[in-house]
A and B are shown apart, each in its own frame.
Chain A
Amino acid sequence: DAKTTQPNSMESNEEEPVHLPCNHSTISGTDYIHWYRQLPSQGPEYVIHGLTSNVNNRMASLAIAEDRKSSTLILHRATLRDAAVYYCILLTSPGAGSYQLTFGKGTKLSVIP
């Protein structure tokens, strides 16, 4: 499986934008880029996913490099509730056999009031 590389930790001030990077230089053409986050003492929560084009939803935006070797999760205005571990995960297209999320260590985001 293609691997991802994320910084261990990042800090952001409350109400500032946050850009969480992810490198995936061995990504294949059928790999989707997924982001999940895990708030303290909770199960992981889906954030967003994309294939080639940038994506927006109510929680965040996903910016994907043109060569797809990296991506950035953007939180437009960090709140204290966004403090969590963010996981960048590659997944082959749905329906292509198994559908296993492989979690790395993720990026621990701290939000400073």
Chain B
Amino acid sequence: DADVTQTPRNRITKTGKRIMLECSQTKGHDRMYWYRQDPGLGLRLIYYSFDVKDINKGEISDGYSVSRQAQAKFSLSLESAIPNQTALYFCATSDYGVEQYFGPGTRLTVT
């Protein structure tokens, strides 16, 4: 089984809809992250959480919110989706050390 799972893997939604992307990890790590990737570009950090009671904004948090429901679960919400939020979204997790483990990604299309 994968260490980091993301659901859904693909989603098409309409402008103005609320959508939630979910992430679960079995690594037992405290730290979790949400990134987005646009075509031809590297990943950009949206939000990160160092433990259940800690939530921090990343580089591009506007238009997004997150919830850390448990050590293993970190969800990303788009309150009112817009077309320029069409992207590939990745969840990642790490412990206090170096390596971040990434999920397989969610491809989101906002029409």
CB atoms of B104 and A98 under 8 A apart: no
Total A-B pairs in contact (CB under 8 Å)? 53
Which of A32, A41, A44, A105 lies at the interface centre, i.e. has the most chain B CB atoms within 10 A of its CB? A44
Q: At the interface, yes or no: A29 with Cβ under 8 Å from chain B?
A: no
Residue in A32, A46, A103 whose beta carbon sits within 8 Å of that of B42 in the complex:
A103
CB atoms of B94 and A103 under 8 A apart: no
CB atoms of B45 and A95 under 8 A apart: no
Chain A interface, number of residues (Cβ within 8 angstroms): 22
Q: How many Å from the CB of A52 to the closest CB on chain B?
A: 15
Decide: A34 near B98, CB < 8 A? Known: A42-B105, A100-B45, A100-B48: yes
Chain B interface, number of residues (Cβ within 8 angstroms): 26
Report chain A residues within 8 Å CB of B76.
Answer: none
Residues of A within 8 A of B (CB): 32, 34, 36, 41-46, 49, 87, 94-95, 98-106
Sample 28 A-B pairs with CB under 8 A, ordered by A number. Answer: A34-B98, A36-B100, A42-B104, A42-B105, A43-B102, A43-B103, A43-B104, A44-B100, A44-B102, A45-B102, A46-B98, A46-B99, A46-B100, A87-B42, A94-B96, A94-B97, A94-B98, A95-B96, A99-B31, A99-B94, A100-B58, A101-B43, A102-B45, A103-B42, A103-B44, A104-B42, A105-B41, A105-B42
